[in-house]
Amino acid sequence: MKQIRVSLFWKGLDGWKAVRVWVMNVLRVVTALLLVIFFVLTFIYVLPTNPIQSRLKSFLDATIGTYFYQDWELFGPNPIDTDYALLVRPLTNEELKVAKIKGAPNNGWYDVSSPLWTKLQGNRFSAYETFSNAITNAVISYDYDPEQQPLKLMVRFASAFCKDIGRSDANYVALMIRERQSSPWPEGKAPKSRVVKTVFVGVYPIDKSVENIHLYQR
């Protein structure tokens, strides 16, 4: 009787082991299928516009576009052809009075975008990318939404910059957007000069509540 119980016990263990192996094999197959589906959807998502992508657009946006957004496109079909930079000019109360009469000053402007790009190239694993992308996105979005969130972000970035460089005497900040297009394909050996366009945004009170970001201090 005891031998029968032992035999049944071992048979039960063998049965559980078989079930466990079966479950693990199913999990492996499901995981492999999910990975294949993920890579296929990602590949389709980053391809240039095509009929398959157009047909699956809603599904791709709800999956890859929502949870695994890709900020690049395969083969770079639409490369960036313009550099957008935010220019900042701190203004004291006296300088503001002069600016109201004569217009914004021509000197004393700071490029707050280019230093971040330079530092980002030297350290890819840093916060420079977050700040530089946020500034660039705000500048680009300003064309479509000039009176809302993009403008508020630019004012806050400019205010943080003034605080970072120690301009406690400035109570206002003038903003300007610089658009510099990439060099056109040269027809000969001498490349053509880049087209530069500046757009004056306006003068705004400095936001004293912003924190010191310690990115522009020397």
Query: Domain extents for the chain?
Result: 2-67, 82-205
pLDDT band at 6 (very low <50, low <70, confident <90, very high): very low
Given a cut of 80, whether residue 21 has pLDDT beyond it is: no
CA 66 to the chain's CA centroid = 15
Tokens of 35: 């990975």
pTM, two decimal places: 0.59
Contacts of 14 (CB under 8 A, 6+ apart): none
Provide long-range contacts, Cβ within 8 A and 24+ apart, for 128-136: 128/215, 131/157, 131/213, 131/215, 135/86, 136/84
Which CA distances in Å does 4 have to 14, 17, 105, 207? Answer: 15, 20, 99, 83
3-class secondary structure, 17? helix
Overall average pLDDT of the 151-170 stretch: 90
Which of these, 97, 95, 122, 120, lies nearest to 109 by C-alpha position? Answer: 95
Place of tokens 């990439």: 182
Of 70-74, 133-137, 156-160, least confident by mean pLDDT is 70-74
- First-residue to last-residue Cα distance in the chain: 86
pLDDT band at 88 (very low <50, low <70, confident <90, very high): very high
Which of these, 85, 84, 83, 90, lies nearest to 160 by C-alpha position? Answer: 90
Across-strand partners of 44?
Answer: none
Task: Say how far apart CA 53 and CA 64 lie, in whole Å.
Answer: 12
Instruction: List, for residues 105-150, the tens digit of each pLDDT value.
Output: 889 999 988 888 777 777 766 667 777 888 888 888 887 776 678 8
Instruction: List, for residues 28-54, the tens digit of each pLDDT value.
Output: 888 889 888 888 888 888 777 777 777
Mean pLDDT of the chain: 79
Tokens of 203: 């003068």
Given a cut of 80, whether residue 62 has pLDDT beyond it is: yes
Task: Say how far apart CA 164 and CA 159 lie, in whole Å.
Answer: 9
